[in-house]
Amino acid sequence: MQPNPFGLRGFLIDAPDYGSLRSRRDGALIVADGKIAEIGDYDDLRKRQRAEPIHWIDRGAVAIFPGLIDCHAHLPQYSAVARGESQLLPWLRENIFPVEREFTGPKAREECPLFFHELARNGTTTAMLYAAIYEDSCEIGFEAAERSGLRVILGKMMMDLGSYGQLQPKKILSVSLIESERLCRKWHGADNGRLEYAFSPRFAVTCSEKLMRSAGELAQRFGAYLQTHLAENREEIEKVHHLHMSARDYTDVYEKYGLLTPKTMLGHCIHLSAREIDAIAAAQSNIAHCPTSNLFLGSGLFKLDQLLKAGLAIGLGSDVGAGPELNMWQVMRAALDVQKVRSMSEPALQRLRPSEAFYLATSGGARALGKSAVIGSLDAGKEADLTVVDLTAVLPYGKQGRRFDDLSTEDIVALCIYRAGPHANLETYVRGKCVYRASEAAPCQ
């Protein structure tokens, strides 16, 4: 049994606002009943008089960060990462639909617990995910998410055009709606809101008008999330243009069918016009920037400055399996690289800084999910979602190298972005509960 309350000692680092880091070198958190009860300098908190003794966890040279937030990934696709060399549409057809088609029954039962263990091992505490089209793939996903202790938003993939399932086309739509509603009724808000439902129309290429409208209505009726893909690839955009000749642009399709809401997460959003950006901002919809995926599929370079300027809430997504890994530090690194590449041909462009990429993976993701009051930064009163990183594992020469006392907060964030991952993650907490500990082979319960 985990002690309650308990104290964690380390170098506390968070990014409550875009562009600024907050830190406490020899800091500490007191976690009680799943929340950050107190935050301060270790010496002060240790000396404070309390009714109950504190069980202290002191792992030496560690940084304690808010848990990382992955705003977009596909549960069934992890086994297919790094596969294929084509762009989006042929890649989906050749590499992804065959894998998703098998993601049901024993296969889903085997992989789902492994997937959530991998998330926790990477320091990810919140993930917004797509299942496959089958009801059981989503049900099994939720059951595994429930056991994992992670914060998960998940939905059954919806598609009724060119789907990979066995159902007759006429039946696909009604079955998809019935199953999605049933899953939402069962899981949305489970375990005091740790698990939530996202209606998940794949994208305008594989969804009929009726499916998109109905998904929007259902999400509104249940106060659930919506997630879809938007403007990821030129060929995809062309296809949508031909399917929806009367729409002003791709975004207009989603606008018309009620998919742009404050609880909508739009994956990618690479090729948007000024009108589309304004429409998304007016609807207060949110964006998952997926740089590792966009590089893998050669989809394009995300115009971060333009979307931030419009006031949009942006988080980061691993987009596994187009993104090759669940490690959100690598996703931050790719976000930096993408803006660096853009600045080579647009010299006036400000580069993205490590502190800003770190914001996107923590507070930015929380804002994009409407959860700023609950997670994303290290503040007393917020839920204790944390990742504890061993700094000796990211320093060149490890314990023999530079002492971490010599490093600035910015240095540490940059070192983690360029060098952290599962090998450096010691512990992951969600709501104060340890969901991963490196010293244990299995997830701690």
Least gap, CB of 100 to ligand GUN (angstroms) = 8
Candidate residues 115, 203, 225, 302; the one interacting with ligand GUN per rule CB under 6 A: 203
8 Å CB contact between 215 and 172 = no
In this chain, which stretch among 9-17, 88-96, 310-318, 416-424 interacts with ligand GUN, using CB under 6 A?
88-96
Indicate which single residue of 293, 339, 387, 425 sits in contact with ligand GUN (rule: CB under 6 A). 293
> Coil, strand or helix: which one is 199?
strand
Tell me whether residue 133 or residue 279 sits nearer to ligand GUN (CB atom).
Answer: 133
Tell the smallest beta-carbon distance from residue 79 to ligand GUN (Å): 14
Helix H, strand E, coil C: the string for 244-285 is CCCCCCHHHHHHHCCCCCCCEEEEECCCCCHHHHHHHHHHCC
Residue 372 phi, psi (nearest 5): -60, -30
Q: Which amino acid is at 18?
A: Y
- Burial level of 166, CB count in 10 A (0-12/13-18/19+)? exposed
208 binds, among ligand GUN, Zn ion, none (CB under 5 to 8 A by kind): none
Query: Per CB under 6 A, does 319 bind ligand GUN?
Result: yes
Map residue 119 onto helix, strand or coil.
helix
Residue list 160-179, contact with ligand GUN (CB under 6 A): none
CB of 226 to Zn ion, least distance (A): 14
Question: Nearest to residue 74, comparing CAs of 287, 227, 250?
Answer: 227
**To the nearest whole angstrom, how small is the minimum distance from the Cβ of residue 190 to ligand GUN?**
25
Residue type at 52 in one-letter notation = E
- Name the residue nearer to Zn ion (CB basis): 200 or 363: 200
- The minimum distance between CB 267 and ligand GUN, in angstroms, equals 7
Output 322 or 426, the one with its CB closest to ligand GUN. 322
For ligand GUN, the closer CB: 134 or 404: 134
At closest approach, how far in Å is the CB of 202 from ligand GUN? 5
Interaction residues for ligand GUN, span 6-45 (CB under 6 A): none
Question: Exposure of 246 by Cβ count < 10 A (0-12 exposed, 13-18 middle, 19+ buried)?
Answer: exposed
Give the span between the Cα atoms of 383 and 431, in whole angstroms. 5
User: Which positions from 240 to 269 touch Zn ion by CB under 5 A, shown as an x/- string?
Assistant: ---------------------------x--
Q: Which residues pair with 226 in a beta bridge?
A: 199, 264
Q: How far is the CB of 81 from Zn ion (least distance, A)?
A: 13
Q: Is 25 helix (H, G, I), strand (E, B) or coil?
A: strand
Number of chain residues interacting with ligand GUN (CB under 6 A)? 11
232 touching ligand GUN, by CB under 6 A: yes
> Of 236 and 319, which CB lies nearer to Zn ion in the complex structure?
319
Distant-in-sequence contacts of 21-29, Cβ < 8 A, 24+ apart: 21/355, 21/358, 21/409, 21/410, 21/413, 22/377, 22/378, 23/409, 25/405, 27/64, 29/64, 29/378, 29/384, 29/386
Contact 190, 424 (CB under 8 A): no
Question: DSSP for 169-194?
Answer: HHHHHHHHHHHHHHHHHHHTTHHHHT
Nearer residue to ligand GUN within complex by CB, 34 or 84: 84
Binding positions for ligand GUN, 47-76, rule CB under 6 A: 74
For residue 118, state whether it binds ligand GUN (rule: CB under 6 A). no
Cα separation, 198 vs 369, in Å, equals 11
Q: Which is nearer to Zn ion, 65 or 197 (CB)?
A: 197
Alpha-carbon distances, residue 221 vs 157, 216, 217 (angstroms): 19, 9, 6
CB of 256 to Zn ion, least distance (A): 22
Among 64, 80, 96, 231, binds ligand GUN (CB under 6 A): 96
CA nearest 263: which of 220, 230, 304, 232?
A: 220
Nearer to ligand GUN by C-beta: 299 or 355? 299
Task: Decide if residue 202 touches ligand GUN (CB under 6 A).
Answer: yes
Q: Give the shortest CB-270-to-ligand GUN separation in angstroms.
A: 11
Among positions 9, 151, 156, 229, the unique one binding ligand GUN when judged by CB under 6 A: 229
Binding residues for Zn ion, rule: CB under 5 A, are: 267, 319
Binding residues for ligand GUN, rule: CB under 6 A, are: 74, 88, 92, 96, 202-203, 229, 232, 293, 319, 322
